[in-house]
Structure formats: C-alpha cells, structure tokens
Amino acid sequence: MALRTEELILNMGPQHPSTHGVLRLIVTLDGENIVDVQPDIGYLHSSVEKMMEARTYLQNIALVDRGMDYLSAMANEEVWVLATERLAKIEVPERARYIRTIMLELQRISSHLIWVGTFGIDLGAFTAFLWAMRERERIMDLFESSTGGRLHHVYFRIGGVNEDLPEGWTHRCLEFCDYFMDRLPEYDELLTGNPIFLARTQGVGVLAKERAIAMGASGPVARASGLDYDVRKAHPYEVYDRMEFGVPVRSEGDCFARYLVRMEEMRQSIRIIRQCIEQLPAGEIRSKVQVALKVPKGEVYARTESPRGDLGIYLVADGSDKPYRVKIRAPAFSNLYALTEMMRGWKVADVIAILGSIDIVLSDVDR
C-alpha cells in the first residue's frame, strides 16, 4: 500500500542562531529528506559598491573594512589597495609588503578560528567555541597593539601600511605562533577524533569537483572538493612568491574535508608568519601618496585569497579621486550558491552541519 506523502516547506531564518547572520533558507522537505533548498539573501545588503563610488580611494579603506566580510577586515583592505596600487602604479616598500603578509595570515587564522568555534556550536560541541575564542583573543591583542583596532583596523594604506610594528611585536607574534602550534593538537583531540563529530560530518554534504567549478565555489570549499587552486600560489601578491607553504587539498568534498582543509591552512599560515618575521627587512613602510589620490583612467581586476576564498575587485577608474565603479567578487556569495547542490538529498538534521561547513559571512554575501 503506497503511502501518500506531501512535500513540506520549512522556513529557516532569517533570524536563526545557526545561519551566522541574517539568512533565510527555504527548505523543501519530503518527510525528513531535503528535496530542495533556496537561500534567500539580501537582508544585509548595504550596496557597498554604490557607497564606494561616493568616497575617495583613501576613505574607501574604512568602508571595505565593515561593508564586506567583517571577520577578515584586512583581507578586504588588501584587495582594495591592491587594485588601486596596480592601476595607479604605486610601489609598496618591502617592509610594508612583509607586514601585510603577516597581517593577512593572522587574519586568516582568526577567521578560521571563529569558524571552528561556530561550527562546533552548530554540531553541539560548545567547548571548541570557547577555546577558539581564547586563541583568537591573542590575535586580537596583536592586532590591537599594531593597528589600534580589533575588528576594523583601517591599517593598510595605498602604498604601504599606516604605522610600523611596535617594538617587541614580532617577538610576541612568534610567541603566539609557538603557543598556537601547541594548542592545535588539542583541537584534533576535541574534534578531529571525536566520533560524534565524525558521524555528523564525514560523508555529509558532498560537493563534486566538477560541480564546485561550475557553481563558482572557491577557497576551502573548492579545495576540499579536490580543486588545487590557491590565489596565493597561482597569482602571488605581496610576498607570497617567496614563502614556502603548502596548499591543503582533499578529494572527499564533504564537511569533514572542509574542516581538515581549514585546520591545515592554519598550520600553513603559521609557517608563513614565521618565515615573514625571519625575513622581515627594515626600512620604509609607506611610500608617499597624496591624500586625495587621483587614479588614472583604466580598469583592473585584482584578486586575493581571503579566508573564504577567491576575493576580487574589478575597479573602474575615471581619472578622478573617486572610483567610477567597483565590483566586489565575494567568495561567500558563490559558495552559498553551491549550498543548493550540497544539501539536496540529505536529512533535515544535516542542514546545520552543511551550512556551517561552508563558512559564510552574510555581510560578504550581501555586501
């Protein structure tokens, strides 16, 4: 006797603790199985691209900090100053480039730590969150003493960085590296070898490599699906071409692979930071750039590897002191689109695990 079934539409969000912001998921369910997921975004849309057209190149550094991905503010600053410097042909002093690289990698660690913590909460492991916050607090202190801000730094400038590192900063940074490398195995004990964690993540939310490419996924999500692509290796910016580091790639494409990729990325980031501090040259930190910089006419696409993936800015300048058009290619926007593919066929309880594993920041999705 055939059972008469009916599809149920479940509305998750916009206010939901595990959507990491204001995201609404319209989940179509057949019993407990997910038939279709339609993310509804735009709740945090602030039209940063429009606002940037009304501000000068210097003022926009303060805007990209908070208008885009707020968990990795300096990664946003980096892509903005990179685009401007390429178009205006501004040289950056060596020391500033090293400092930028150190900051970007610290930012990557702090962003991944937030992700580990919140992912743990999503799966019911609260301890990981507290531990990740404890480690992140050290990074915040490092940021605070060098940039003056904890979340929004406004530290990078067109042609360098704002202020030199304070005395003893590199020593404290190395101390943090040692401390962090000691702590990382604890996360392995807590999560990687945890049978409950494994059961919730292994084999869940698989995204095939071809689908990841077709859907535009990038960053750890694509690398967990077997796509060996990292902007830092493919198109090195700052001093990444002089650094030795590995790019973790997994072929499974499930939530656990994404977790492993991010954990390994943090180790590699520590490697980069140590090399940078070792090679850190003395000298200027900022080349002379006028406050109301006029960028010559032209168009350029600058790309960086932000903690969430391939972050790019297509900048159109018209020769005035304000950009004519800025297109921000947000990694989380494309990664969220791949969610529809990942979720199909899984159980409703896996929604949280899969959503948590792609590490979205809604400010980055909506911009």
Residues 267-306 that bind other proteins (CB under 8 A): 291, 294-301, 303
Binding piece for other proteins, criterion CB under 8 A, among 29-37, 96-104, 185-193, 244-252: 185-193
Nearer to other proteins, 2 or 79 (CB): 79
Site for other proteins in 188-207 (CB under 8 A): 189-190, 193-196
Decide: helix, strand or coil at residue 194. coil
Task: Please identify which residue in the block is written with the tokens 């040692």.
Answer: 178
Nearer to other proteins, 16 or 183 (CB): 183
* SS3 track for 74-115: HHHHHHHHHHHHHHHCCCCCHHHHHHHHHHHHHHHHHHHHHH
Decide: helix, strand or coil at residue 167. coil
Nearer to other proteins, 93 or 149 (CB): 149
Closest contact distance (angstroms) between CB of 321 and other proteins is: 10
Closest contact distance (angstroms) between CB of 247 and other proteins is: 13
Vertex 345 angle, CA 343 and 346, to 5°:
65
Closest contact distance (angstroms) between CB of 268 and other proteins is: 20
Site for other proteins in 107-166 (CB under 8 A): 127, 131, 134, 137, 141, 144-149, 152, 154, 162-166
Residue 168 binds to other proteins (criterion: CB under 8 A): yes
Whether the link from the prior residue into 17 is cis, omega within 30° of 0, is no
Residue 242 binds to other proteins (criterion: CB under 8 A): no
Closest contact distance (angstroms) between CB of 191 and other proteins is: 9
Closest contact distance (angstroms) between CB of 2 and other proteins is: 29
Residue 235 binds to other proteins (criterion: CB under 8 A): yes
Site for other proteins in 247-266 (CB under 8 A): none
Nearest to 16 by CA among 114, 88, 118: 118
Nearer to other proteins, 34 or 87 (CB): 87
Residue 229 binds to other proteins (criterion: CB under 8 A): yes
Which stretches does DSSP call E strand in 204-308? 298-306
Site for other proteins in 5-34 (CB under 8 A): none
Closest contact distance (angstroms) between CB of 298 and other proteins is: 4
The dihedral of CA 290, 59, 336, 126: what is its sign?
Answer: positive
Say how many CA atoms lie within 13 Å of 35 toward its Cβ: 10
User: Cα separation of 60 and 323, whole Å?
Assistant: 9
Nearest to 295 by CA among 316, 275, 265: 316
Tokens (6 digits) for 323: 């950009």
Site for other proteins in 64-93 (CB under 8 A): 65-66, 85-87, 89
Vertex 214 angle, CA 209 and 219, to 5°:
60
Nearer to other proteins, 18 or 216 (CB): 216
Q: What is the DSSP letter of 312?
A: E
Nearer to other proteins, 3 or 171 (CB): 171
Residue 42 binds to other proteins (criterion: CB under 8 A): yes
Integer-rounded Cα radius of gyration of the chain: 21
